[in-house]
Amino acid sequence: MRKETQCVHSGAIKDTVYGGVNSPVYTSTAFNYLDRERVAYPRYFNTPNQTAVVEKVCALEGAEDGVLFSSGMAAMSTAILAFAGAGDHVVMMDELYGGTHAFATNEFPRLGMACTFSATDADAICSAVRVETKVIVIESPTNPLLSVIDIRKVAAFARERQVLTIIDNTFATPIYQNPYGLGIDVVIHSGTKYLGGHSDICCGIAVASRQHVERIRKMALSLGGSVNADTCALLERSLMTLAIRVERQTENAGRLAHFLEGCQQVRRVCYPGLASSPFHELARSQMTGFGPMLSFELESERVDPARFVRKLRLIKPAVSLGGIETTICEPAVTSHAKMSAAERQRIGITDGLLRLSVGIEQADDLIEDLEQAMTI
Ligand SMILES: Cc1ncc(COP(=O)(O)O)c(C=O)c1O
């Protein structure tokens, strides 16, 4: 099956009783254990509706198995702790989702773990690896600067050194990038974003080989972080439209990126789909589409970013991303607020940087909204 078809059909539970076309929703948290090899229980991550969405995402990512979590951070933290502990070293990039950065900064020292934040570049990531390195965590494209990492290069190097690789694939979505096939061991998504797609559920997922998923599931059993059947059912419904949603969102993102690039009031636009992006060719070599996220920086002498955001009529200022509605945020005071101001400046997350999560609206309406908010 192709992706659009997998979105609709993979993993679906057959309704053998009534013949309904949708997966039945099993809300039970207690299941009969007699005469069963494996008893189902939400925190064992094996209920029917959990399994249905895991199978669908595994089909889309080309992975063997997975674990569905109550948030993207639950997926990321559990996966890291499944493969690294006291005495171990982890390599991360300085540009990555603020929550992942904060997890390493705040919790690793207490756990006896060390972390190097390398520059956001495959060679720098590889040279940060030491003998004690157990895990490399990358994100591509990154939040919020949309930098692209050479995934094949990092994966090949790590395999040779027997270091486990984890990627946050949230921005690319499984429609446009499948890192498992490029050699990455564990692929993570914040399901709260594109997989959920309607800004109304919080969940996360980790997919990998059966062997790696066994270790993640074992850690997950202790840490908890499971989701109930209602969230699974909403997620399954959302996944059915994932391909068509992100295709439309990406088309809109391309139009908005070109528009912004032509605006005098805009200093820079970060979008790998632009021919002027330093990541354009690399993105083409490992993604099948450039995705729906972009960021841009206003000439703050011409337009005050805070005022601009308040002047928008259609585009909503909101934390989070990936919904069908277009939203905007200032990473310096939202997703990356926990990072020190000096660190943000160093990597280019300026106070005037704005991150756009492009929705499925008609692009002309979005462009008109951006245009009117730029006029003084
Ligand atoms: C790229 C990325 N990864 C992970 C997360 C964490 O996801 P969650 O909020 O579902 O825990 C986020 C949240 O904004 C994100 O943007």
Supply the pTM of this predicted model: 0.97
- How is domain 243-374 classified at the CATH fold level? Aspartate Aminotransferase, domain 1 (3.90.1150)
**Better-scored residue on pLDDT, 213 or 35:** 213
Condensed to tens digits (0 to 9), the pLDDT of residues 216-243 reads 999 999 999 999 999 999 999 999 999 9
Condensed to tens digits (0 to 9), the pLDDT of residues 308-339 reads 999 999 999 999 999 999 999 999 888 888 78
122 lines ligand 1 (CB under 6 A): no
User: Averaged over 161-176, what is the pLDDT?
Assistant: 98
Tell the burial category of 296 from Cβ atoms under 10 Å away from its Cβ (0-12, 13-18, 19+): buried
Query: How many angstroms separate the first and last alpha carbons of the chain?
Result: 51
202 lines ligand 1 (CB under 6 A): yes
Q: How high is the mean pLDDT of the chain?
A: 96
Q: Which of 9-13, 50-54, 305-309 has the lowest mean pLDDT?
A: 305-309
CA of 73 to the centre of ligand 1 (A): 6
pLDDT for the residue 179: 98
157 lines ligand 1 (CB under 6 A): no
190 lines ligand 1 (CB under 6 A): yes
Phi, psi dihedral angles at 185 (to 5 degrees): -80, -50
**Rg of the chain over all Cα atoms, to the nearest angstrom:** 21
Condensed to tens digits (0 to 9), the pLDDT of residues 292-311 reads 999 999 998 889 999 999 99
241 lines ligand 1 (CB under 6 A): no
273 lines ligand 1 (CB under 6 A): no
300 lines ligand 1 (CB under 6 A): no
Q: How many CB atoms lie within 10 A of CB 102?
A: 15
Condensed to tens digits (0 to 9), the pLDDT of residues 121-157 reads 999 999 999 999 999 999 999 999 999 999 999 999 9
Token couple for 163: 């270091």
- Tell me the domain boundaries of the chain: 3-239, 243-374
pLDDT for the residue 195: 98
CA of 130 to the centre of ligand 1 (A): 28
In angstroms, rounded to a whole number, what is the distance separating the alpha carbons of residues 241 and 236? Answer: 9
- How is domain 3-239 classified at the CATH fold level? Aspartate Aminotransferase; domain 2 (3.40.640)
Ligand 1 atom 9, closest CA: 72
Token couple for 273: 């789909």
